[in-house]
Chain A
Amino acid sequence: MSTVITGLGVMAPNGLSSEDYWSATLNGDSGIAPIDRFDTSGYPVSLAGQVTGFEPEELVPDRLMPQTDRMTRMALAAADAALADAGAGPGTLPEYDMGVATASTSGGLEFGQRELQKLWGKGWQHVSAYMSFAWYYAVNTGQISIKHGMRGPGGVVISEQAGGLDALAFARRQIRKGTPLMVTGGVDGSLCPYGLAIQIASGRLSTQDHPDLAYLPFDHRANGYLPGEGGAILVAEERESAQRRGAPAAGELAGYGAAFDPSPGSRGALVRAARAALADAGLAADGIDAVVADAAGQQDDDQAEADALSELFGPAGVPVCVPKTMTGRLLSGGAALDTATALLALRDQVLPPAINIHAELTDPRLDLVIGEPRETPVRAVLVLARGHGGFASAAVLTRP
């Protein structure tokens, strides 16, 4: 039994649909810009991957507007797009045959900050009746299941950046156990003052104020990462069920693996997760045509990922893509978006470039795709993701 992806819904700093995101990404058009939603002059970080041009009033039902944070609105819009792409919706399959599993990290933190301000400024009577679920990590799965009448399994997994892949694996597990269709992926972000203060506290954000110099993974000038918002929602289906209803597949989720190692700078968990994903897909390392890297943007973590890639594939043994240089790191949305990138690369047989990093300043053991897209046969892509604290996950996507 195999799991294929039949629908993509993207909400990215450099594109509000999968096609817009893909053409921007191939073009090297970045979504990194100065934060314009609030005054950042008091903060050491002023740049982020903001989703711009998103008009929730047009895409989210009026009824849901007062009860949702911005990231849930983006998730609802991405889920609508993914289901439209898959040609699926209420009634496509029996209600218990469709479920939802998303990754989360922030919850609706901007909504939460507003309500905390009301509680501490005015008293509990002023807190929104929707606060109990709008900030809550499970909110996107709940709201998507309600909007689309999906009564199958519901899941929410959290492992920071690795969560986007863990949600896909959760969805595949439900499909293997008999639920033919799962809406999955992740949309995340907390670009509000408290959210920025929290991410600054990690000590891992870049404080550069020029977009070209701020987030430079694998480059000797790496000085931290930039936060972003958005992600991707995918429709995953059991292959034969999708075929029966005539839904074309964008690719197969052929392999997955996860591991944990809290030692800073360790490549161990990444190598074990990748080996497990390759074994699960029945592929050797030479069967992988491209890697979408985690790309922490920290010297030690970049070194660890380069060590892992070198151990797995040999020196410069595989093209490495870093589309995150155009979006920043999207918490649980990041690996979901990287999965969408992998599927689009499989479709068009082209690898997207990284921007801002300079080949001569990067680790010579890596064959990074930089500056221009690279046309090449793409049959299988490995997506890597690490979550703060020691989480590592890997997924293999193959042509359908």
Chain B
Amino acid sequence: MTRRAVITGMGVIAPGGTGTKPFWEMLTAGRTATRRITFFDPEPYRCKVAAECDFDPAAEGLSPRDIRRMDRVSQFAVVCAQEALADSGLVAGGDGAAGAAALDGEAAERTGVAVGNAVGATMSLESEYVTVSDGGRDWLVDHSYAAPHLYEYFLPSSIAAEVATAAGAGGPASVVSTGCTSGIDAVAYACDLIREGSADIMITGGSDAPVSPITLACFDVIKATTPQADDPARACRPFDATRSGLVLGEGAAILVLEEYEHARRRGAHIYAEIPGFASRCNAFHMTGLKPDGREMAEAIGVALDEARLAPEQIGYVNAHGSGTKQNDRHETAAFKTALGSHAYQIPVSGIKSMVGHSLGAIGSIEIAACALALEHQVVPPTANLSEPDPECDLDYVPREAREARLDAVLTVGSGFGGFQSALVLADPELADQERSTA
């Protein structure tokens, strides 16, 4: 029997709110969380805005040692994983609350972890660098000033190790790091492990905490981020003629992904099935995109075929919508190529307008948004879209959320390195019907 992967739990930390509920309220209100950077003085930089999380690790239950050992990126992932497990009715270890299924023994060995992340513990790696190099003075850095957990910060895999350890998961664990498509590709990786039978449950998603001087500098020098600082709440304007670049974000979304029959047997709530996904390389340029969107269109086509869905069955597209002209034209072309005339009928929106671009996390945050869209039958809007770019002529759901009949939705991502990814979420019962009549 074909094994299928479904989402049974979610945890989100996004700019504007910790937890899935505040995240969804914010998206449907069309509220933005972009602001002038507070983590350090952004005055010397070209870009001065970001979407920061007001995250207090102690208030989220992490101990002082947890906080010292883990970079912010791991803290996000662990806190989100706890929310996702609780939401799914799973408890690490044997002493679960009434009604919760215990992740212990063989169940724990059948539970894996796959976390998407683009830039690792970049905040700690930079701050440790500043210390050991004495503010950039010394090439021969002084190791004796390093923090005891510097090696853990160095390894992006520490994020997956922390999540697996906190959850007591003993199955396959990994970090997937394909830049800005990591959040989609990690969930796809997790789906593959469930389908092939390597795990029954995967704790998956993405986390990134890149709001640091070096990340800002990287995007400043290639002029990818917005230089406009006068109205931070309206800084990210995908598909708008006045857009001026992306806005860096941070956060995480962790999902409990589960084999369909396994979830049904224990009576878990099912948000959505993930019936199809694909990634393709553009083999063109590490940061540039061709305007034809050809490889993203290919990824969408393969994902729809795998899901056995026609373009007409897709009720919503969550766009990459990073807020750059290059991206908006690239993906608009990709949607037209892959979805044909139906591209003009589907609402397409970009939530980075509200929560910024959290690199390896955002793909999973957007998958969570898609699952919530299916759950509530509501499409989140593209905030800040007031002056449509005439070259982007699809329905981008400007500023206000919209009720819609949704059985299946599509999300896409595009990343440095040339990565183009697409993933479909659907009501599993729809897929049952379609498959029985196919």
A binding-site residues for B, Cβ under 8 Å:
38-39, 42-44, 67, 95-96, 99-100, 104-107, 113, 115-121, 123-125, 127-133, 136-139, 141-143, 145-146, 148-160, 163, 166, 170, 173, 177, 193-194, 196-204, 257-262, 268-269, 272, 276, 387-391
> Nearest Cβ distance between residue B30 and chain A, in whole angstroms?
30
Is the pair A173, B192 in contact by a Cβ cutoff of 8 Å? yes
List of B residues within 8 angstroms of A259 by Cβ: 109, 170-172
List of A residues within 8 angstroms of B279 by Cβ: 153-155
Interface size class of B (residues with CB under 8 A): 35 or more
The reply to whether the CB of B417 lies closer than 8 angstroms to some CB of chain A is yes
The reply to whether the CB of B220 lies closer than 8 angstroms to some CB of chain A is yes
Is the pair A38, B140 in contact by a Cβ cutoff of 8 Å? yes
Is the pair B416, A272 in contact by a Cβ cutoff of 8 Å? no
Is the pair B178, A141 in contact by a Cβ cutoff of 8 Å? yes
B283 interface neighbour in A38, A95, A160, Cβ under 8 Å:
A95
List of A residues within 8 angstroms of B151 by Cβ: 198-199, 201-204, 388
Centre residue among A120, A154, A261 by max chain B CB count within 10 A: A154
Give the CA-CA distance A154 to B150 in the complex, in Å: 29
> Nearest Cβ distance between residue A113 and chain B, in whole angstroms?
7
> Nearest Cβ distance between residue B308 and chain A, in whole angstroms?
15
Is the pair B130, A142 in contact by a Cβ cutoff of 8 Å? no
List of B residues within 8 angstroms of A141 by Cβ: 178, 281, 417
Give the CA-CA distance A120 to B196 in the complex, in Å: 48
Within 8 A of A (CB), among B138-158: 139-143, 146-152, 154-158
Is the pair A151, B298 in contact by a Cβ cutoff of 8 Å? yes
The reply to whether the CB of B160 lies closer than 8 angstroms to some CB of chain A is yes
Is the pair A119, B156 in contact by a Cβ cutoff of 8 Å? no
> Nearest Cβ distance between residue A37 and chain B, in whole angstroms?
11
Give the CA-CA distance A204 to B417 in the complex, in Å: 33
For this complex, 7 residue pairs linking A to B, each with C-beta atoms less than 8 Å apart, are: A124-B44, A153-B278, A157-B174, A159-B160, A173-B196, A200-B143, A389-B165
The 8 A CB mask of B199-233 against A (1 = contact, 0 = none) is: 00000000000000110111111101000000000
Is the pair B161, A262 in contact by a Cβ cutoff of 8 Å? yes
The reply to whether the CB of B287 lies closer than 8 angstroms to some CB of chain A is yes
Give the CA-CA distance A105 to B156 in the complex, in Å: 7
- Of all chain A residues, the one with the shortest Cβ separation from B175 is A158
Is the pair B178, A133 in contact by a Cβ cutoff of 8 Å? no
Instruction: Pick the interface stretch among B113-121, B309-317, B326-334.
Output: B113-121
Is the pair B135, A120 in contact by a Cβ cutoff of 8 Å? yes
Is the pair B416, A119 in contact by a Cβ cutoff of 8 Å? no
Give the CA-CA distance A321 to B44 in the complex, in Å: 55
Q: Which 8 A-B pairs have the closest CB atoms?
A: A120-B136, A142-B417, A389-B161, A202-B151, A197-B143, A124-B217, A258-B172, A201-B150
Is the pair B218, A390 in contact by a Cβ cutoff of 8 Å? no
> Nearest Cβ distance between residue A336 and chain B, in whole angstroms?
15
> Nearest Cβ distance between residue B421 and chain A, in whole angstroms?
9
- Of all chain A residues, the one with the shortest Cβ separation from B130 is A120
Give the CA-CA distance A137 to B278 in the complex, in Å: 20
Is the pair A163, B283 in contact by a Cβ cutoff of 8 Å? no
Give the CA-CA distance A19 to B279 in the complex, in Å: 34
Is the pair A197, B132 in contact by a Cβ cutoff of 8 Å? yes
Give the CA-CA distance A72 to B417 in the complex, in Å: 13
Give the CA-CA distance A42 to B280 in the complex, in Å: 46
Centre residue among B118, B132, B221 by max chain A CB count within 10 A: B221
Is the pair A155, B222 in contact by a Cβ cutoff of 8 Å? no
Give the CA-CA distance A398 to B24 in the complex, in Å: 51
Is the pair B157, A160 in contact by a Cβ cutoff of 8 Å? yes
Give the CA-CA distance A197 to B150 in the complex, in Å: 9
Is the pair A131, B417 in contact by a Cβ cutoff of 8 Å? no
Is the pair B165, A390 in contact by a Cβ cutoff of 8 Å? yes
Is the pair B178, A261 in contact by a Cβ cutoff of 8 Å? no
Give the CA-CA distance A193 to B192 in the complex, in Å: 39
The reply to whether the CB of B29 lies closer than 8 angstroms to some CB of chain A is no
A142 interface neighbour in B137, B298, B418, Cβ under 8 Å:
B418
Centre residue among A96, A99, A104, A197 by max chain B CB count within 10 A: A197
The reply to whether the CB of B245 lies closer than 8 angstroms to some CB of chain A is no
Centre residue among A118, A198, A268 by max chain B CB count within 10 A: A198
Is the pair B141, A193 in contact by a Cβ cutoff of 8 Å? yes
The 8 A CB mask of B157-189 against A (1 = contact, 0 = none) is: 110111011000111111111110000010001
The reply to whether the CB of B28 lies closer than 8 angstroms to some CB of chain A is no
Give the CA-CA distance A307 to B86 in the complex, in Å: 36
Is the pair A387, B157 in contact by a Cβ cutoff of 8 Å? yes
> Nearest Cβ distance between residue B55 and chain A, in whole angstroms?
23
List of B residues within 8 angstroms of A198 by Cβ: 146, 150-151, 154
Is the pair A197, B141 in contact by a Cβ cutoff of 8 Å? yes
The reply to whether the CB of B399 lies closer than 8 angstroms to some CB of chain A is no
> Nearest Cβ distance between residue B167 and chain A, in whole angstroms?
10
Give the CA-CA distance A142 to B126 in the complex, in Å: 24
> Nearest Cβ distance between residue A366 and chain B, in whole angstroms?
26
Known contacts A124-B46, A156-B178, A260-B169; decide if A132 and B157 are in contact (CB<8 Å): no
The reply to whether the CB of B353 lies closer than 8 angstroms to some CB of chain A is no
- Of all chain A residues, the one with the shortest Cβ separation from B213 is A119
> Nearest Cβ distance between residue A1 and chain B, in whole angstroms?
12
Is the pair A260, B417 in contact by a Cβ cutoff of 8 Å? no
A119 interface neighbour in B136, B147, B175, Cβ under 8 Å:
B136
Known contacts A43-B143, A201-B150; decide if A146 and B136 are in contact (CB<8 Å): no
Within 8 A of A (CB), among B274-294: 278-287
Is the pair A138, B283 in contact by a Cβ cutoff of 8 Å? no
Give the CA-CA distance A157 to B186 in the complex, in Å: 9
The reply to whether the CB of B344 lies closer than 8 angstroms to some CB of chain A is no
The reply to whether the CB of B295 lies closer than 8 angstroms to some CB of chain A is yes
B157 interface neighbour in A115, A146, A269, A389, Cβ under 8 Å:
A389
The 8 A CB mask of B120-131 against A (1 = contact, 0 = none) is: 100000100110
Is the pair A152, B217 in contact by a Cβ cutoff of 8 Å? no
Known contacts A138-B415, A159-B157, A259-B170; decide if A117 and B139 are in contact (CB<8 Å): yes
Is the pair B160, A262 in contact by a Cβ cutoff of 8 Å? no
8 new A-B contacts, CB < 8 A, other than A146-B284, A194-B129, A389-B161, are A137-B118, A145-B281, A153-B281, A155-B185, A158-B177, A159-B157, A163-B157, A389-B155
> Nearest Cβ distance between residue B324 and chain A, in whole angstroms?
13
Is the pair B157, A193 in contact by a Cβ cutoff of 8 Å? no
Give the CA-CA distance A143 to B178 in the complex, in Å: 12
- Of all chain B residues, the one with the shortest Cβ separation from A45 is B143
The reply to whether the CB of B133 lies closer than 8 angstroms to some CB of chain A is yes
Is the pair B143, A196 in contact by a Cβ cutoff of 8 Å? yes
- Of all chain B residues, the one with the shortest Cβ separation from A67 is B286
Is the pair B178, A390 in contact by a Cβ cutoff of 8 Å? no
Is the pair B118, A115 in contact by a Cβ cutoff of 8 Å? no
List of B residues within 8 angstroms of A117 by Cβ: 133, 136, 139
Known contacts A124-B213, A157-B174, A272-B109; decide if A389 and B132 are in contact (CB<8 Å): no
Is the pair B281, A152 in contact by a Cβ cutoff of 8 Å? yes
- Of all chain A residues, the one with the shortest Cβ separation from B299 is A153
Is the pair A258, B178 in contact by a Cβ cutoff of 8 Å? no
